Amino acid sequence: MNTTTAFAPPRSHLLQRRSLLDWGFAALVLAGAGYAFARYGAAMDDYEKGILTAAVPSLVLLGWFWAPLRGLTLAVGVAALGAIALYSGHPGAHGADLGAAEKVFLLKYMLSSQSAILWMSLCFWLSMLFYWGGFFTRQGQQSAAEAIGSKLAWGGVFMALVGTMVRWFESHQMGPDIGHIPVSNLYEVFVLFCWLTTLFYLYYEARFQTRALGAYVMLVVSSAVGFLLWYTVAREAHEIQPLVPALQSWWMKIHVPANFVGYGSFALAAMVALAYLLKTTPARSLWIGLVGMPLGIVALILAVRVGATLDADTVNGLDAWARKIAGVGGFLALTIVLRNRLTARLPDLVQLDDLLYKAIALGFAFFTIATILGAFWAADAWGGYWSWDPKETWALIVWLNYAAWLHMRLMKGLRGQVSAWWALVGLLVTSFAFLGVNMFLSGLHSYGTL
């Protein structure tokens, strides 16, 4: 199978003479950066100017490496600038009047940050449904439903990025000390997680020339979207708030995105692991591992609920989690029943194993960088590099888990079902570090609680 023509030339070609399209893209990125400096440079500190400067060659190289990023970059830029122009036509106390989001048709229904993120949510959910529909349409290598699912995934990434860029602009219109990059709370980082994970998948979809993994990966993305919408309704999380003092740091601008490259890659690896297990593992083992474990957790939750004296809020919370985990177990039971259809068009085991390794390796590299950056941020904010805060402790557990996985892979030749089960369990560990700590534990990171 030729795996290079669909997405990028070999690395050696990157040093050769570029095409006119390549240089045209580079010129547009440079022009965009120049406009940003001219228009917003006065509001940037030295660190922000440095980040913008470094972003120019990085974005150009990414566009040269993977051609679809060029169109995505330009489309997001045009849409975001269009939204800014619409806002700018309605002056406010600190710049633009954010009330225009309820008055201007395109802002209200498409380009305001909240509208764009709602479109993102719809696109990702529809993408998952069409990817799943592909399993039940035809058994060949191509499926029209999966092709639509892929386009919807691209549409979701586009709307997520537009929403992020416009939200960044909107925050600066609320006051001189409120504007910030939108990666500061659970609402904003869930948007980041959704589009990053989807974009990673779309790259590998082109790399391996198969859309059969889309149904698996979009499951975790759609679950994140479901949480995002619940969080929006329950906590009005879409409202832009000033940063707490600990987050008023330039470290946030690089620590959080690096962290979520890791989280997105680990989520992708876990879904690949699920596909690998459905393709290779005997049914009995699948029932025990995929269904028995969630039901065991539900039984444990119910035992705690019945055997302990708990307040009403805690009981309601435990009941809600028991229902969610039981639902996950029921869904996994369905995947076992339908495993023949769900695995009919998967890549071969060697490719799945290779993708699993590459996703974990990429995630581990960025998670390591993020952890180091987080230590520097902690020293700047709290006076110490490490304090064994619950979030820090669980970040270390995640790091050790994947460090051990990579060690066993590279030094002991770990492959096959054990490797896949480990990666799937790793998603549970990562999910607790990402979300569970914020929900159940308190500490220096309590600004992220639910």
pLDDT tens readout for residues 145-191: 899 999 999 999 999 999 999 999 998 888 777 888 888 888 999 99
Mean of all residue pLDDT scores within the chain: 86
Please tell me the distance from the alpha carbon of residue 417 to that of residue 399, in angstroms, as a whole number. Answer: 21
pLDDT given at position 4 = 45
Which is more confidently placed, 309 or 424?
Answer: 424
Does residue 191 belong to any structural domain of this protein?
yes
**Is residue 368 a part of any domain in this protein?**
no
Number of compact structural domains in the chain: 1
Which of 4-8, 261-265, 357-361, 385-389 is the least confident region?
4-8
Contact indicator for 100, 113 with CB cutoff of 8 Å: no
Is residue 77 one of the residues assigned to a domain?
no
The residue written with tokens 């060690």 in the block is: 407
Predicted local confidence at residue 2, as pLDDT = 47
Structure tokens of 400?
A: 């050790």
Please report which confidence band the pLDDT of residue 441 belongs to, taking 50, 70 and 90 as the band edges.
low
For position 212, what pLDDT does the model report?
87
> Is 429 part of any domain?
no
Within-domain flag for 201: yes
Domain housing 133: 87-243
State the average pLDDT over residues 267-283: 93
Q: Report yes or no on 287 lying in a domain.
A: no
Over residues 281-295, mean pLDDT: 90
Identity of the highest mean pLDDT range in 153-162, 285-294, 341-350, 387-396: 153-162
Count of CB atoms within 10 A of residue 53's CB?
12
pLDDT attached to residue 1: 43
- Helices 214-235 & 144-172, crossing angle to 10 degrees? 30
Taking the C-alpha atoms of residue 209 and residue 345, their distance in angstroms, rounded to an integer, is 11
pLDDT at 436 over 80: no
What is the model's pLDDT at position 385?
80
- Any domain includes 339: no
pTM for this model (two decimals): 0.89
- Does a structural domain hold residue 147? yes
